[in-house]
Structure 1
């Protein structure tokens, strides 16, 4: 049987792993610089933990796990037919289903579950970062995989808008160090609720936000069509037409909303919160071009209650490479109230694609062996092994070619692997000298052992 990969998954070569680590190291350093502490949660959760947290579309993308007791097909004794697994999986969750566990869909809900279980032992505000894989039964395409990493930073136990301002700084600092020029799109879920109230479709808020969130993908006509299909009247859609003709001035757009939201308490609250975040960010030197008020930004997750973020890379065609928002009620579904939270996520895989396309990875992002010792099958092997041990003790990478082979073959191995230097041990070793070739510069040198081991 010919081996193959499951759709939406990938193998990572040494170069790819090294480059991914380069991204992760910068993110991890900044997470800790901003006061976040590491946390890891299991790769799978109880299905009941995950369902109902991501909206109708999100729930459909959860990877369910068959219970171990029925992983093998069993025959129905009454009709001698195999159990219809698919029908069982499609039924609403209940204790008699074939599955009660699922692979995690994101890192936020498992984090909320962790907080709910451990809130009596935590010090609030509690700040954590988490870098782990997640799984979604999505249609694979460029930048979208079924298994991918999320790099999250969350704060729970604080309603202060300073958290939003801080997360804007975290985004901008991290992407600046990665060399990626970005624009942060920001909105507020309360503004979206206010818009629903303004248009008289409060009972259709979820339908409204899910459709609006697709604007970048399907355009205005597509959004209008979907709103109509979701039962929203044309009269209400006409009231919202101004959403599609916003100016580039964030504060001007907020002023326009204030006028439309007169007497609309929740909408005005959203405008006030967003205004505070934008003004405080500008006071810290954030370029208004890098922080855009996007009134159509909805992010189709049901648990957001306040600020919502989406980060897009400039100068390259790619979906969002980061996103997040405030979720003040998430732990309530686990029976723990009054623990507000906010968090952001960095999309490692898409960041990688952006950096690769723009040629932003530094050469030293790829791990290379410093020295390869040539193997001629003679007495030099013992001396080579001793020198390799000394180099490794100094933190310098080194290896010996395992078989005695023609020098051309060993050169080819070194070049293909990107090894920096090829070492030849000859008669000069008796005089305390060693010869090596710098393969990057193409220069051969003979130096003393003391200088070599320096």
Structure 2
């Protein structure tokens, strides 16, 4: 029998890891709720037709397809064989697969809005914290199964929404103690750039190539643009655009000079200017930066786009999103504007770990272990333990009567800060000894006074 193993790009999470991840989830969720968003959950799998064609050429390749049930059906053998041949050629076949694991939370959300549009109170603000799956190449900060935490607003074109989303990013990372750069751009500017390179239809090709700039560098981006049919003059124009730098004000001025005669470009610049002028973060941790190289390769973005990067850490984006003003049109409900952001929990976890930013109390589980020193003693200890549990203090009673040393080691290995020792003498005197394993200090407390013992103050 081979050794047990995990699928590549997935992980197990031990107790300490789960607690740290829950700290991130709780922080993000609290900010979502503070800004008036309500929770939503959708199924792990969607119909394949719901997902395909929504993420662009690159994204479609990364969708995990699920084989249909009953593929051993002899009556369909020929269809199944033909279907497998199609799948091996990179195409889809309903005889083989009709469903897939969700690639992100945005398209399932758009599908939900389309199905329930007449029952929703608009603008509809929802948040969603669930895992997604991508058949990507695993590497640091990139997994095949990972969580996304999304917040979206549909039914409003107001740029106040973009201000709110940027402020939510700043609020979350302030609470996490993580310095970040919130980068913004606008897809209308990229559309204007495409027009100056021969036509708006080139925008997706340009965005997909530019989106890889951080990973492959400008020379490879130029090569890819050439492969996608752009001329040398057009590629050089894009390179000049990508080399725009300076302060936010200087970049805006340069963009205005480039797109003076392009209404779409001017509209995108005005939207960016509004966001940059009106975003006031009550934090020193977050900086809002105009980044003309930001493209977001997904097909559905139409306006402002976001990306968040941690400062001082070499890792990809830890958040991203943008405006998509007709995403529900893909499902038969046109002209529903929307905008949203996402937090990459797994990368945020890696960054907080690398920078040692998790608070000390995030690891806490059981606060006190009651030693088991005999039948009568354990019976009383159990009664006292239940009293503390009713007060919200997490406790355990060691499962059997063994030497002190073994019970101490159990507490130390689990990181339990206190032990309660109740022997025959203490039982008779109606007292209990509490020892702080971190400081080594121990105190004698009466049974009646145990519930008033301040564990946090003495930690």
User: Could you say which TM-score interval applies, normalised by the shorter chain?
Assistant: over 0.9
Tell whether the 8 Å contact from 1:89 to 1:99 is kept in structure 2 after alignment.
no
2:64 matches 1:63:
yes
**Mapping 1:305-316, distance limit 5 Å:** 305-316=302-313
Distance 1:287 1:389 in 2: 45
Distance 1:289 1:252 in 2: 20
Distance 1:73 1:309 in 2: 48
Q: CA 1:436/1:285 → structure 2, altered by over 3 Å: closer, same or farther?
A: closer
How big is the alpha-carbon RMSD for the aligned residues of Structure 1 and Structure 2? Answer: 2.0
The match for 2:124 among 123, 126, 140 is: 126
**Mapping 1:48-447, distance limit 5 Å:** 48-70=49-71, 72=72, 83=81, 86-90=84-88, 96-282=94-280, 290-426=287-423, 427-447=425-445
Distance 1:438 1:305 in 2: 58
Distance 2:121 2:80 in 1: 52
Tell whether the 8 Å contact from 1:88 to 1:97 is kept in structure 2 after alignment.
no
Deviations 1:261-313 (A, max 9, x none): 1221111111111111111115x668798111111110110000000000000
**Mapping 1:16-27, distance limit 5 Å:** 16-27=17-28
Correspondence for 2:457: none
Distance 2:371 2:157 in 1: 63
96-105 or 188-197, which deviates more: 96-105
Shift of 1:183: 0.2
Q: CA 1:8/1:402 → structure 2, altered by over 3 Å: closer, same or farther?
A: same
Tell whether the 8 Å contact from 1:88 to 1:98 is kept in structure 2 after alignment.
no
Distance 2:299 2:389 in 1: 52
Distance 1:116 1:92 in 2: 29
TM-score by length of 2: 0.94
**Unaligned segments of structure 1, at least 5 residues:** none
Q: How many residues align?
A: 450
Distance 2:395 2:374 in 1: 18
Correspondence for 1:30: 31
Distance 1:82 1:261 in 2: 53
Correspondence for 2:450: 452
Deviations 1:158-211 (A, max 9, x none): 000110011110000110110000001100000000011122243322111100
Distance 2:384 2:137 in 1: 52
Distance 1:67 1:76 in 2: 12
Q: CA 1:110/1:33 → structure 2, altered by over 3 Å: closer, same or farther?
A: same
**Unaligned segments of structure 2, at least 5 residues:** 453-459
